[in-house]
Every structure is written in structure tokens, then in C-alpha cells.
Structure 1
Amino acid sequence: PQYIILKPSFIGGFKGSDSWIELAQAKGVKWWVTSALESNVGLNAISQYTFTKNSTLPQGLGTGSLYTNNIASPLEITKGSLFYNPSKKWNFNL
């Protein structure tokens, strides 16, 4: 394939994702990471992991906004990109 889509929650976490990325890169296959409907807590972890991979492709990490009862977080989407806003705080009170 030209591309593979990685959902860390479904393929062994970050270690499993690393294995898939290594295999893909060895074959010249491009990849991107998407979340699997995680809350903002999981989305935060996946986005930090993805950042360490220095990928230039768009990633699928905006699913947290789908929930009406999600944990408030400093994550925000601006112009199609996910950012961490340090002026916002985590709120674990549901």
C-alpha cells in the first residue's frame, strides 16, 4: 500500500505503532496516526506520541470534540491543526 493508518489503541499501543512505523518506512510506505474515539486524555497521549515522530503528514487527532461529556482540556483545534493552549487547564470534574 502507499499509506497505512495507525490507531495505537488497536495495535499494541505506542510500542506496536513503532513496529508498524518501522516496517512502513523500510518499505517506503507513508503512515499517519488517528485516534479511535478516545477522550481528551487519550487524545493528549496520542498527540504527544505522534509529535515525537516528526511526521509532516496530517494526522487524524480531532475526535475529542465529538463528545458532549468529554473532559475539558487545553487541546484545541485551530485551522485544522491540534494545539495545546497553556492558558487552558485540565478539568477532571464531570
Structure 2
Amino acid sequence: MENDKKITELEKEITRLHGEIDELKNNYKKQSMEVGQLVFENEDLDFEIRKLKKENSELKLENEELKLFKKEVETSKSWKIKSLLK
């Protein structure tokens, strides 16, 4: 009788432990999926950052070219004459 009670208690403990294991497995799977999504988001953001850095450097070059052109225009004789007449 005492052994039957112990066996029943052990079976309940085994069932409870199986439930905990299943819950831990499900949590692990969920976390794995979240990590995978974060990895893909990170790759997308890295791509966007590279694209923006390239665009930024192109705009800097264009800005420098425009500054040089402005300087060239302002140093021309006709610009000087026009600015004197204003």
C-alpha cells in the first residue's frame, strides 16, 4: 500500500516534470524565433545604414563640388561687376 502511494506520487512528479520540460522547450523555440527575427532585422538595418552612408558621402562630394563652383563664380569678373552694381 505504501509502495503504491509512492509510485503514484512519483508518477505525478514525472508528469509535472514532463510539463515543465515541454514549457521550457516551447519557451526556447519562441526565443529562438525571436532571435532569428532580430538577426534579420539587424541585417536589414545594416543594409540601410550602408546605403545611407554611401548616399551621405555622395552628397558630401556634391556639396564640395558646388562650393568650388560657387567660389569660381564669385571670383569671376562678371560676378564682381554685378555685385558692385547692387
Shorter-chain TM-score category?
A: under 0.3
The structure with higher relative contact order (CA 8 Å, sep 6+) is 1
Q: Which has the larger radius of gyration?
A: 2
Normalised TM-score (structure 2): 0.19
Structure with the higher strand share, 1 or 2: 1
